[in-house]
Amino acid sequence: MLLDALREQLHLTGTKKGCDHGQCGACTVHIDGQSALSCLTLAVMSEGRAITTIEGLARGEELHPVQEAFVKHDAFQCGYCTPGQIMAATALVQDRQQRSAAEIREAMSGNLCRCAAYANIIAAIQEAQRA
Ligand code: FES
Ligand code: FES
Protein backbone atom coordinates (compact mmCIF):
# COMPACT_ATOMS: atom_id res chain seq x y z
CA MET A 1 0.00 0.00 0.00
CA LEU A 2 1.07 3.62 -0.48
CA LEU A 3 1.25 4.09 3.30
CA ASP A 4 3.79 1.27 3.65
CA ALA A 5 5.79 2.46 0.64
CA LEU A 6 6.02 5.96 2.15
CA ARG A 7 6.99 4.76 5.61
CA GLU A 8 9.04 1.64 4.94
CA GLN A 9 10.71 2.31 1.58
CA LEU A 10 10.94 6.11 1.49
CA HIS A 11 11.29 6.52 5.28
CA LEU A 12 8.75 9.34 5.31
CA THR A 13 7.35 8.46 8.70
CA GLY A 14 5.29 11.61 9.17
CA THR A 15 2.30 9.80 7.67
CA LYS A 16 0.93 7.63 10.45
CA LYS A 17 -0.57 4.15 10.45
CA GLY A 18 -3.59 4.05 12.72
CA CYS A 19 -6.31 1.56 11.90
CA ASP A 20 -4.84 0.49 8.52
CA HIS A 21 -8.47 -0.04 7.42
CA GLY A 22 -9.62 3.36 6.16
CA GLN A 23 -11.40 4.33 9.35
CA CYS A 24 -9.22 6.82 11.24
CA GLY A 25 -7.63 9.24 8.76
CA ALA A 26 -4.15 9.06 10.36
CA CYS A 27 -2.66 8.09 6.99
CA THR A 28 -4.13 11.01 5.01
CA VAL A 29 -1.93 12.39 2.22
CA HIS A 30 -2.66 14.42 -0.91
CA ILE A 31 -2.76 12.74 -4.30
CA ASP A 32 -2.83 15.35 -7.05
CA GLY A 33 -3.93 17.87 -4.43
CA GLN A 34 -6.85 15.83 -3.13
CA SER A 35 -7.09 14.22 0.27
CA ALA A 36 -6.58 10.44 0.13
CA LEU A 37 -6.18 7.58 2.58
CA SER A 38 -2.80 6.05 1.85
CA CYS A 39 -3.67 2.82 3.70
CA LEU A 40 -6.36 2.13 1.07
CA THR A 41 -4.30 3.21 -1.94
CA LEU A 42 -2.13 0.79 -3.85
CA ALA A 43 1.32 2.32 -4.34
CA VAL A 44 1.38 1.14 -7.94
CA MET A 45 -1.83 3.08 -8.66
CA SER A 46 -0.05 6.28 -7.59
CA GLU A 47 2.64 6.06 -10.23
CA GLY A 48 3.00 9.35 -12.11
CA ARG A 49 0.76 11.21 -9.66
CA ALA A 50 1.82 14.00 -7.30
CA ILE A 51 1.94 12.73 -3.72
CA THR A 52 2.30 15.24 -0.90
CA THR A 53 2.88 14.12 2.67
CA ILE A 54 3.13 16.19 5.83
CA GLU A 55 6.89 16.46 5.19
CA GLY A 56 6.18 18.42 2.00
CA LEU A 57 3.79 21.00 3.39
CA ALA A 58 6.13 23.60 4.87
CA ARG A 59 8.25 25.79 2.60
CA GLY A 60 11.66 25.44 4.25
CA GLU A 61 11.35 27.06 7.67
CA GLU A 62 7.97 28.58 6.82
CA LEU A 63 5.05 26.52 8.03
CA HIS A 64 1.88 26.16 5.99
CA PRO A 65 -0.92 28.40 7.39
CA VAL A 66 -2.80 25.30 8.55
CA GLN A 67 0.27 24.10 10.45
CA GLU A 68 0.66 27.55 12.02
CA ALA A 69 -2.99 27.57 13.05
CA PHE A 70 -2.68 24.10 14.64
CA VAL A 71 0.28 25.31 16.70
CA LYS A 72 -1.45 28.54 17.67
CA HIS A 73 -4.64 26.78 18.77
CA ASP A 74 -2.93 23.83 20.48
CA ALA A 75 -4.87 21.55 18.16
CA PHE A 76 -3.19 18.33 19.33
CA GLN A 77 -2.21 16.44 22.43
CA CYS A 78 -0.24 13.27 21.64
CA GLY A 79 0.10 14.38 18.02
CA TYR A 80 -0.43 10.95 16.45
CA CYS A 81 -3.46 11.98 14.42
CA THR A 82 -2.06 15.44 13.65
CA PRO A 83 -0.33 14.84 10.29
CA GLY A 84 -3.53 13.29 8.94
CA GLN A 85 -5.66 16.05 10.43
CA ILE A 86 -3.44 18.72 8.88
CA MET A 87 -3.37 17.07 5.46
CA ALA A 88 -7.17 16.70 5.45
CA ALA A 89 -7.60 20.28 6.67
CA THR A 90 -5.20 21.63 4.07
CA ALA A 91 -7.13 19.94 1.27
CA LEU A 92 -10.34 21.31 2.78
CA VAL A 93 -9.32 24.99 2.97
CA GLN A 94 -7.72 25.16 -0.45
CA ASP A 95 -11.05 26.04 -2.12
CA ARG A 96 -11.16 29.18 0.10
CA GLN A 97 -14.76 28.55 1.12
CA GLN A 98 -15.72 29.89 4.55
CA ARG A 99 -17.27 26.88 6.31
CA SER A 100 -19.14 26.93 9.59
CA ALA A 101 -17.89 24.89 12.53
CA ALA A 102 -20.59 22.30 11.80
CA GLU A 103 -19.53 22.04 8.15
CA ILE A 104 -15.88 21.66 9.13
CA ARG A 105 -16.81 18.98 11.66
CA GLU A 106 -18.73 17.09 8.98
CA ALA A 107 -15.94 17.45 6.40
CA MET A 108 -13.32 16.28 8.92
CA SER A 109 -15.42 13.42 10.29
CA GLY A 110 -13.12 10.83 8.72
CA ASN A 111 -10.20 12.00 10.85
CA LEU A 112 -10.42 10.67 14.38
CA CYS A 113 -8.55 12.02 17.40
CA ARG A 114 -8.31 9.71 20.39
CA CYS A 115 -7.20 12.66 22.53
CA ALA A 116 -10.43 14.45 21.56
CA ALA A 117 -8.72 17.69 20.59
CA TYR A 118 -11.65 18.36 18.27
CA ALA A 119 -12.63 21.81 19.57
CA ASN A 120 -9.10 23.12 19.03
CA ILE A 121 -8.80 21.42 15.64
CA ILE A 122 -12.01 23.12 14.47
CA ALA A 123 -10.77 26.48 15.81
CA ALA A 124 -7.47 26.04 13.95
CA ILE A 125 -9.22 25.21 10.68
CA GLN A 126 -11.56 28.18 11.06
CA GLU A 127 -8.55 30.43 11.46
CA ALA A 128 -6.71 28.82 8.54
CA GLN A 129 -9.66 29.31 6.20
CA ARG A 130 -9.68 33.01 7.06
CA ALA A 131 -5.93 33.32 6.45
S1 FES B 1 -4.54 4.20 8.86
FE2 FES B 1 -5.55 4.77 7.06
S3 FES B 1 -7.51 5.36 7.72
FE4 FES B 1 -6.57 4.63 9.53
S1 FES C 1 -3.79 14.42 19.33
FE2 FES C 1 -3.71 12.39 20.14
S3 FES C 1 -4.91 11.27 18.73
FE4 FES C 1 -5.23 13.32 18.15
Question: pLDDT at residue 58 above 90?
Answer: yes
* Ligand 1: lining residues by beta carbon, under 6 Å: 17-20, 22-27, 37, 39
Instruction: Give this prediction's pTM.
Output: 0.96
| 8 contacts: CB under 8 Å, gap ≥ 6 | none
Q: What percent of the chain has pLDDT over 90?
A: 97
Residue-level pLDDT at 43: 96
Q: Which ligand is nearest to the CA of 7?
A: 1
Average pLDDT over residues 82-97: 96
CA dist 62 and 40 (Å) reads 31
Q: Which ligand is nearest to the CA of 114?
A: 2
Q: How far is the CA of 20 from the centre of ligand 1 (A)?
A: 4
How many domains is the chain built from? 1
| Residue range of the domain that includes 62 | 2-130
Question: Measured in whole angstroms, how far is the alpha carbon of residue 53 from the centre of its chain?
Answer: 8
Average pLDDT over residues 44-52: 95
| Ligand 2 atom closest to the CA of 85, numbered from 1 | 4
pLDDT digits (tens, 9 = 90+) for 1-14: 999 999 999 999 99
Q: How confident is the model at residue 131 (pLDDT cuts 50, 70, 90)?
A: confident
| Ligand 1 atom closest to the CA of 24, numbered from 1 | 4
| Ligand 1 atom closest to the CA of 110, numbered from 1 | 3
CATH number of the domain bearing residue 11: 1.10.150.120
